[in-house]
Structure formats: C-alpha cells, structure tokens
C-alpha cells in the first residue's frame, strides 16, 4: 500500500456513493451536518461533464430518500467550465433544479484564481434563478474583500477558507500570518453583513477569535457555522458540536481521489504538511 493510499483512507469517504452515505449517516448521528463532494476536476468533454452532473443529481436523490442532513458542493471545472461557460451554466442548472425540488442546498466551490472571476459571474446568474445556493471565497486573494462585499450585497451565502492553491504574489498574500489576518477581517465582515456564513478552518486560534467576535457582537450560534474536512480534527468537530455550534464536514468520495490529492500536494508544500500532521491527531 502506498503512503498516498494510506493517507487517503483517512480523508476520503470511499470510492462509491454508498461509502459516502455511510459516513454522512454516522456524522449526522453525532449532530454534525455534511457537504458531499464527488471528486474530480478539469473535465474536458461535454459527455463526461454531463455524467458528473447526473451523478450529483442521483446523490441528491439518495440523500433525500435516506433523510440525511447533507448539502452538496461542486467544482465547475468538473461540470464543464473548461468546455465553455454556457455549457457549464446549463449543466449545473440541472443540479440546482433537482436540489430546489428537494429543498436542498448546493455550493459552488472555488478553484484557482484563473477561474475566480468566471465562477463568480456564473454564481451571480444562478443565484437569481436558484436562491438556495452559495459559493466559496479564499482569504489569500487580495480581491476577496471586494468579492465578499458584493456577495453580501446580493445575499449570497459564502464559505470562507484560506485557499489551497499556489497563487502569485501579485494577487495573493504569501505569508501565513497575512492570510490569517485577512481571514479574520473577512470573517468579521461576513458575520456582520453576510447570510449564514460558513467559516472553513481547522485553526483553533481563528475559531476562538470567531467565537469571541460573534459573542461580543451578539451574533447567535445559529447565525453561522464552522466547516471542516472529513478526517481532520475530529475531536474538535465533536467538541464544537457539543458546545452548541453548527458544524458541517466536507465529505469527498470517488475514484478520482489520487489525482485530486496529487494536485493538492503539488500545489503547496503547506498542503502536504497539513495532511500529514492531521493524520496523527484528532
């Protein structure tokens, strides 16, 4: 067994939808909600992208049938963004239509900075037709402050994360301390003006700063949630849940786990250190 396979067993629910549903069911039993992610990126053909959308539609139906508490998260390059914006819009709209019929929520994930503007343009269009959706903003990008202001203005739900992609210094913070400072600035803006923001971090200092700010501002625990990755800081996830905070865990599954992790590990040295260090802790 390779080291990557060994690591993946901790952080990936499995290769089949049934594997993911089993994980979601267990998390739900512990009071934790989830976001389902079918692994895969940079699809180049309409046929494959359409099949990926069909997989999400099937997953949403199974989540509803089993009465599980789970949203879904999609990456647009898996849905055909590299084919064309028009095709991607129509393809993803099928997922939103299904989610709306089931009263569920779908979040459009954020990829590298080359896709940020195009992703947000599509998100603005989708939100007009399907209000029960949201997107993701990365704190490491300089543009994120203005993007969050616009998303707040449009009442679009945001998940804030630090960002896992290697970005040039001309457009992104490079020092971890600067990223953390901006993360907290954006968190405060989302808590004040956003719509049920999701604070995506495993950093206990940022979590504590978020809790202190919310308490100081009189923002209830039901007005936001913390989001974390499956298999990482499991003890912290349970502890926050037991303290009355809303916690949602990102549950990835699929056969494309190897290229997904290889790409993340190649992107930034910090990603490799992050996964290895979290393998040995709850």
CA distances from 281 to 23, 188, 202, 233, 259 (A): 19, 29, 12, 7, 25
Alpha carbon distance 144, 208 (integer Å): 22
H or E element in which residue 58 lies: helix 46-65
Task: Let me know: does 241 contact 228? Beta carbons within 8 Å.
Answer: no
Considering 109, 211, 233, 234, which one is annotated as catalytic? 109
Q: Is there a catalytic annotation at residue 175?
A: no
Task: Let me know: does 268 contact 176? Beta carbons within 8 Å.
Answer: no
Alpha carbon distance 130, 124 (integer Å): 10
Q: Is there a catalytic annotation at residue 159?
A: yes
DSSP character for 113? G
List beta partners, residue 138.
161
Of 244, 240, 166, 251, residue with least CA distance to 206:
240
Considering 37, 107, 157, 159, which one is annotated as catalytic? 159
CA distances from 172 to 104, 178, 250, 271 (A): 33, 10, 25, 17
The dihedral region occupied by 107, where left means phi > 0, alpha psi between -120 and 50, and beta the remainder, is beta
Alpha carbon distance 126, 52 (integer Å): 18
Catalytic center residues: 109, 159
């Amino acid at each position: 067994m390779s080291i990557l396979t060994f690591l993946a067993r901790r952080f990936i629910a499995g290769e089949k939808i049934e594997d993911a549903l089993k994980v979601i069911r267990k998390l739900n039993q512990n009071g934790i909600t989830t976001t389902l992610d079918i692994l895969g990126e940079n699809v180049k053909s309409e046929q494959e992208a359409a099949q990926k959308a069909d997989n999400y539609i099937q997953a949403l139906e199974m989540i509803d049938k089993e009465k599980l508490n789970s949203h879904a998260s999609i990456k647009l390059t898996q849905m055909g963004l590299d084919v064309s914006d028009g095709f991607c819009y129509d393809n993803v709209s099928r997922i939103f239509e299904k989610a709306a019929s089931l009263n569920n929520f779908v979040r459009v994930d954020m990829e590298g900075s080359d896709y940020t503007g195009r992703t947000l343009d599509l998100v603005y269009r989708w939100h007009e037709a399907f209000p029960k959706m949201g997107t993701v903003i990365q704190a490491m990008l300089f543009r994120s402050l203005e993007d969050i202001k616009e998303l707040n203005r449009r009442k679009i739900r945001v998940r804030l994360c630090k960002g896992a992609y290697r970005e040039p210094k001309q457009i992104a913070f490079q020092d971890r301390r600067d990223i953390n400072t901006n993360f907290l600035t954006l968190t405060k803006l989302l808590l004040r003006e956003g719509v049920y923001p999701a604070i995506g971090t495993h950093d206990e200092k940022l979590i504590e700063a978020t809790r202190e700010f919310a308490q100081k501002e009189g923002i209830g625990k039901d007005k936001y949630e913390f989001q974390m990755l499956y298999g990482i800081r499991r003890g912290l996830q349970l502890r926050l849940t037991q303290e009355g905070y809303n916690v949602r865990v990102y549950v990835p599954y699929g056969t494309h786990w190897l290229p997904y992790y290889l790409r993340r590990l190649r992107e930034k040295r910090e990603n490799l250190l992050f996964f290895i260090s979290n393998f040995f802790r709850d």
